[in-house]
C-alpha cells in the first residue's frame, strides 16, 4: 500500500481552506462586535474634560446647599425595580424637589432607563421601572429645586 501523494491541487485546497476560515472568523467577529457595541461610555468626553473645572465648581455649589440622600433600589421576581430616595437638608426632610433617576447598565447601554421619582412626603421620593434584568446597575440621581441642580448622587447596586 502506497501513501497518498501531496499534489499541487491538495496544497491549493489547503491554502484556500485556511484563508477562507480566517476570513470567515474575522467577518463573524466584526459583525458580532458591531451588533453588540452599546456606544460610548461618556458622550463628549473631551468636552467634559475641558469643562472639568466647571464640574468641580458645581459639586462645591451642591455641597453648600447641604442636601444628603439615602438611596435604596430593589427588584422583584417580575423584573420591576423600585427606587426609593430619602432627601434631607440640614437635618430636615427635603420637600418640593424634582428628582430623576438614571438606571444605567454598566455593560449594555440598551438597557439604560430614566425615570422620574414621585414625592411621597417626608422627603421620600419613589419610582418603578419594569423589565430590568438582574445584575449590577449604576443609579444616578439628579435632584432639582425649581431649575437649579441641588444634588447629583451615584450609587452602584446589585439587583437580584
Domain boundaries defined on the chain? 7-37, 45-159
| DSSP line for the chain | -PPPP--HHHHHHHHHHHHHHHHHHHHHHHHHHHHH----SSTTHHHHHHTHHHHHHHHHHHHHHTEEEEEEEEE-TTS-EEEEEEEEETTEE--S-EEEEEEE-SS-GGG-EEEEEEEEETTEEEEEESSPPSEEEEEEEEEEETTEEEEEEEEEEEE-
Spell out the residues 6+ positions from residue 113 whose beta carbon is closer than 8 angstroms to its own: 102, 103, 129, 132
Query: Bigger pLDDT: 111 or 24?
Result: 24
Mean pLDDT of the chain: 93
20 pLDDT more than 90: yes
- The average pLDDT across 9-35 equals 95
Q: Which phi and psi angles does 81 have, rounded to 5°?
A: -95, 135
> Cα separation of 65 and 53, whole Å?
19
Tally Cβ neighbours within 10 Å of residue 100.
Answer: 15
Q: What's the pLDDT at 2?
A: 79
Q: Tell me: the pLDDT tens digits for 102-154?
A: 999 988 888 999 999 999 999 999 999 999 999 999 999 999 999 999 999 99
pLDDT band at 39 (very low <50, low <70, confident <90, very high): low
Q: What's the pLDDT at 36?
A: 80
1 pLDDT more than 80: no
Say what percent of the chain tops pLDDT 70: 97
> Cα separation of 143 and 124, whole Å?
12
Q: Tell me: the pLDDT tens digits for 78-109?
A: 999 999 999 999 999 999 999 999 999 988 88
Quick one: 45-159 is in which CATH superfamily? Immunoglobulins (2.60.40.10)
Amino acid at each position: 500500500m502506497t501513501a497518498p501523494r501531496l499534489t499541487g491541487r491538495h496544497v491549493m485546497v489547503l491554502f484556500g481552506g485556511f484563508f477562507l476560515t480566517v476570513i470567515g472568523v474575522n467577518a463573524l467577529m466584526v459583525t458580532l462586535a458591531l451588533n453588540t457595541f452599546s456606544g460610548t461610555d461618556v458622550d463628549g468626553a473631551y468636552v467634559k474634560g475641558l469643562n472639568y473645572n466647571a464640574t468641580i465648581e458645581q459639586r462645591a455649589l451642591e455641597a453648600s446647599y447641604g442636601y444628603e440622600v439615602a438611596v435604596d433600589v430593589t427588584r422583584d421576581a417580575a423584573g420591576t425595580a423600585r427606587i426609593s430616595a430619602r432627601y434631607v437638608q440640614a437635618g430636615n426632610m427635603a420637600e418640593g424637589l424634582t428628582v430623576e433617576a438614571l438606571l444605567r447598565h454598566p455593560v449594555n447601554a440598551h438597557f439604560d432607563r430614566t425615570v422620574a421619582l414621585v414625592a411621597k412626603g417626608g422627603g421620600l421620593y419613589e419610582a418603578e421601572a419594569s423589565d430590568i434584568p438582574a445584575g449590577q446597575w449604576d443609579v444616578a440621581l439628579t435632584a432639582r429645586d425649581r431649575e437649579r441642580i441641588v444634588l447629583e448622587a451615584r450609587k452602584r447596586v446589585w439587583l437580584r
